[in-house]
Amino acid sequence: MGASPDDPYGPGSPAAAGERAALVAEIAATGALDDPAWRAAFEEVERHVFVPYYFVGRPGGYDRLWSGDPDPVRRERWLRGAYADEPLAIRVRDGELISSSSQPSLMARMLAELEVRDGHRVLEIGAGSGYNAALLAHRLGDDLVTTVDLDPEITESARTHLATAGYRPAVVTGDGARGCPERAPFDRIIATCTLPRVPVSWPAQCRPGARILAPLATGLIALSVGEGDGALGADRAEGRFLHTAAYFVPLRGAPPRIPRAFGQRLPRGSGHELFRFLLALTEGSLDPRDALSLWEREGRPARERYGVTVVGERQWAWLDDPAGPYVWPLA
């Protein structure tokens, strides 16, 4: 499909193809596209179709870049930005960012870590521009992909972008914290918004052995859902954080969950990003000075040593072992 003469930046744009090839090569160099199926998805799904406009920060607010700008220099800037390995602000309301298109290399790492297989049914929480849903639909087929967002403007826009690009997964307007019971059960759930805790409805809507990947406390938690016997019961999900840092718009557009300790005078030496991850994870459960003492005593542990366990309504974070001695209830 070639671009229309009236819309040189539409689907099939030759100019966009070159930018997309450069982006794919950049992501591939990090090792995030080792799976040929995901590489093919990033090569063929046109990100610029999903971000016909976006916002870039400037002093005092945001500047809007869009595909139809009469200034050719600004149009070229828009296209380059659409294929930059950076997150893009796609919806701003009253000065607050409420929806974004994630950094492509982070999306690639998350999709690889989701460990999908042919035939898997996937639920995405946070529709954004629709780009991530298109990548999933390219890999699995439209019928196996569902994306949910609370904001009807976001879902309508994502649905339009997906149709323009030739994809038609299920796009549902609803509270992502409730999952999507009418489309369950799912083999995989992936969230593209930060959680304060794991919604109990998600494991309940999964098949045994399913995998849930979600941003939590500036990290990415990968949970395995119980098989119904053995170490994980049917009402249980458990897993560890990946090494990757992750910062996303909060679930349901709520204000960012910043630990109260961030507004306090923290102990000397506490500015390390991994220590702030521990503070975010243990908010309300651990005093900042006690947290710093623990962090130093345990050798400044990386994210992979932390995990989360969900058992029905109860859930807790832990260091090294879900049975303790270091466990903290999630707020």
Rounded Cα gap, residues 20 and 74, in angstroms: 18
Q: Looking at per-residue confidence, does 261 or 5 come out higher? A: 5
- What's the pLDDT score for residue 317? 97
Q: Per-residue pLDDT tens for 174-196?
A: 999 999 999 999 999 999 989 98
Q: Over 90: is that where the pLDDT of 139 sits?
A: yes
- What's the pLDDT score for residue 260? 43
| Residue keyed to tokens 């690639």 | 108
- What's the pLDDT score for residue 261? 42
Q: Per-residue pLDDT tens for 212-244?
A: 999 999 999 999 998 654 444 456 899 999 999
Residues identified as active-site: 99
Q: For the chain, what are the domain ranges?
A: 14-192, 258-329
Q: Per-residue pLDDT tens for 2-42?
A: 555 556 677 888 999 999 999 999 999 999 999 999 999 99
**What is the per-residue DSSP string for 261-289?**
GGGS-PPTT---HHHHHHHHHTTTTS-HH
| 62 CB-contact burial (10 Å; exposed 0-12 / middle 13-18 / buried 19+) | middle
Is the Cβ–Cβ distance between 296 and 209 less than 8 Å?
A: no
**What would the mean pLDDT of 116-141 be, rounded to a whole number?**
97
- Read off the pLDDT band of 165 (50, 70, 90): very high
Where does 14-192 sit in CATH, by number?
3.40.50.150
